[in-house]
Structure 1
Amino acid sequence: MGARAGRRPGYIRRRPTRRAPVSPEEQLERGKMCDKPDLSEVEKFDKKKLKKTNTEEKNTLPSKETIEQEKECVKSS
């Protein structure tokens, strides 16, 4: 007979291989299952290498005059 439609000639479908279950101890050794994060990189971090920045605080609240104008507009309409 011939090859099935949609498949290459000589193509063999293989089943996926299953891995053996891993014990929790092995997972801990591999670093996959840990309650505490690794802080070694944070401990090595040097704050002195950071650039200084100036922050400007913006007042986004309207002034009293603006609030009064808005109140008058609402009352008149």
Structure 2
Amino acid sequence: MTSIDDFLVLVHDEIGLTIGPEHADLPLDQVPGWDSMHLLALLSALERETGRPISLPDVLEARNLHEIHEVAVRA
């Protein structure tokens, strides 16, 4: 899962949100269907997918899906 497109597929598959590249840079509160519980589910899915721990504080600082993706790929 290195590309933003792969990341967005993971978000869809794990959380069930229908999103596309146009949603990656939106503030999280503007992503259709997003709520704060999705963040924890996504963090768990990312750790499972990457096989590495991902910094919760860094994910909490992310303002959008693109920034969460950046945290995940540099972990």
> What TM-score results when the alignment is normalised by the length of structure 2?
0.17
Instruction: Return the structure number with greater helix share.
Output: 2
TM-score for both structures, normalised by structure 1: 0.17
